[in-house]
Amino acid sequence: MKFLSKKDAKLITDPLTDNNPITIQVLGICSALAITAELKASIVMSVSVLFVLGLGNVVISLMRNIIPSKIRIIVQLIVVATLVIIVDLVLKAFAYELSKTLSVFVGLIITNCIIMGRFEAFALGNGPWKSFLDGVGNSLGYAVILIIVGFFRELLGSGTLLGIKVLGDPIEKTGLYAFGYENNGFMLLSPMALIVVGLIIWVQRSRNQALIEEN
């Protein structure tokens, strides 16, 4: 990121590590638990949030000086709702089956605490460029967790990644299944998503605490 100043680069890198919106701020947990049974759904949700938050932050930043403070939340909701409608229509046009899988959760992006939080805490007080970087950084921090959770849940729960059988065929008993391996169906249930996210939070916070103690 040589084209970015150190301060600007931190807007992207900080949410990926030290201030992750899910593991540190504990925001956006609902979608992290609900749609991560498949890696593909996790990726599409991550891209959707990247589009909504990145562009939404810019729009709110451009409008920050003309938005009356009393109606700023309403304006923010209108902006994010418009962007979510665009995402939903694109998914229905080009990935209909996946749009049915995500169903209501795409609409719930409107109330995603990460998005509304960044609008309120950052975009309203900073210029478009910094707001864009902040949106990208927090979206990537959110995406990293969703993709990690989706990776392990689909791999261990179904033996596939992006729908491709990577551990062998459980019916024909090839690959790992030839040695008696069985898919862990519990990984596809919501409680296991909570456990996986909890483990990631534990690792992330333990790492941060260790760095603090070293310094």
Region of 26 (left: φ > 0; alpha: ψ -120 to 50; beta: rest) is: left
With 0-12 / 13-18 / 19 or more C-beta atoms within 10 angstroms meaning exposed / middle / buried, residue 195 is: middle
Q: Are 119 and 56 in contact (CB under 8 A)?
A: yes
Give me the chain's average pLDDT, please: 86
- Residue 91: which of 49, 60, 119 has the closest Cα? 49
Question: Helix or strand or coil: residue 38?
Answer: coil
How many Cα atoms sit within 13 Å of 72 on the Cβ side? 19
Q: What is the pLDDT along the chain (215 residues), one digit of tens a residue?
A: 456 778 888 888 888 877 888 888 877 777 777 778 889 888 988 998 999 999 999 999 999 999 998 999 999 999 999 998 898 888 888 888 777 777 667 777 777 788 988 999 999 999 999 999 999 999 999 999 999 999 999 999 999 999 899 999 988 888 889 888 899 988 988 888 889 888 988 888 787 777 666 76
pTM: 0.87
Q: How far apart are CA 116 and CA 57, in angstroms?
A: 9
